Structure 1
Amino acid sequence: MKSHFTFSKEQRNGIFLLILLIIVLQCVYFFVDKDYQDISVNQEELAKFQKEIDSLKLVKLEERKPKIYPFNPNYITDYKGTSLGMSNEEIDRLHAFRKQNKWVNSSKEFQEATKISDSLLNTISPYFKFPEWVANPKPKTKATVYNNTPKTFAQKQDLNTATAKQLQRVNGVGEYYSERIVKFRNKFDGGFIADVQLQGIYGLTPEVIEKITNQFTVKTPRAIKKIDINKAELEDLVTIQHIDYDLAHEIVEQRKLRDGYKSLNELTKVKDFPVNKIEIIKLYLSLD
């Protein structure tokens, strides 16, 4: 232990100087006058800087606020109504109003149904989005009066020269079907042979066809050379509407079995014959 606490003369001098240095530094720290240089601040620049910081804070606060997107007030849920600032009673009034199968079509009607305050209405009404037909209703036009009373043959217009616009006067024939009729007619060089060919236009119901033929009829039928059913070859039969090669083959086979057709209506006995098209097919056939 003695060796740890026994110092030489040089060591004692060193320890003395170290203690003396510490005491001097402590005295300097406590007794030396601390004069600080006054800092000059430009108050105008500081105010501008502070104002800019405040504006940035406001922008950040606005960004953090929940955004309200346009919505249809007829479909406000409990959560949506609460987030907009509506009370439970006001939300319940809206739901009760909608249960009557009624619709809110304006800000005024919304307030009448919910009894919300003017201040709340002014806050949320700019976000109301009603259907286009409510916001921009189309002006009412006069209803077209159709006259579907049957006309005599002389009074009827020629179906082969009628325009799409003229056909649209028939109740049930709009722009779409009138264009289809004209397009179908123009596929044949000379137009229709008879009114019954309207049955070949997909989508036309028997009721609509009847309305058309009450006003129009084929007055200038397309000239065709009829085919003798008892002499026709396969190549002749396949040129007829609604008859393909297989059906033509069956017609010829049945003709052999029957030793010739006695009536065009016997064709309905042929396998896979389109019975509903018989009147159209008969336009192209003869029985000699």
Structure 2
Amino acid sequence: MKNIKSHFKFTTQQRNGIFLLLLLIVALQCVYAFVNFSSEEITVDSKALQLFQTEIDSLKLVELEKRKPKIYPFNPNFITDYKGYTLGMSSEEINRLLKFRAKDQWINSPKQFQQVTKVSDSVFNKISPYFKFPDWVTNPKPKKQYTKSFNTSKAKTEAEKIDLNTATAIQLQKVYGIGEAYSKRIINYRTKQNGFVSIIELNQVYGLKPETIEELKKSFSLKTPKAINKINLNTASKSQLVTVRFIDYEIAHNIIEYRTLYEGFNSFEDLIKVKDFPVKKIEIIKLYLRLN
């Protein structure tokens, strides 16, 4: 009992502290009881809030557009598997395009692209504005129309024709299709060969077209052909044969071998049967040969 009483004995300072604590509790209770702590009602401007929300949504859309992969102009003929996937094409549509291109065929219009791939209208409308085809497809150059054609000049008489072995560059250039370059080639060939043996040799001038040669024949002829000693095809030796244009030692050997096997040549056309014979040059070679 004595120990219990000792717990309720306080000093003066302790009692003063307890009293102040009680006063503070009472004061706080009064404040809580009589003071209104409820907050005032906040008014919201719905229009302003809606505008703010709209602005946020638009910013989100802009950000989403920025994150989307950009599409740049491209040639649909070169769409790869990955490229087609990023464009929204299915694997079947991509395979149809690749099979079409494997046949070395080309897509030349947006309409043809949809016909080949069978893409949906939504995908087609999204990617077709970015199709870029070569200029020769989108802007084909019109074909040149030649008002003047060959075979329009009148053939001259033999007396009026100019000797091809003495013709000047200026005279040659009067023929339609013969310019400075071609006239120079003709004269250079003539100089190198010491003159034309036959007008057939015009075929050996680089770049001359058959129709141009025909025009030349209307105004030129060989009045002074180069003199040559023709070699007997059926008796000529190898050393004699190699002096003929376009015949080398191997071809000369093959000619003699064929001649021995078939007991001579009956016509110049038999030369075609000779091994490795330059068939395209036979008309020139014949100018230097005879059969007897």
* Band the TM-score falls in, shorter-chain normalisation: 0.3 to 0.5
Question: TM-score, with normalisation over the residues of structure 2?
Answer: 0.47
TM-score by length of 1: 0.48
The structure that has the greater radius of gyration is: 2
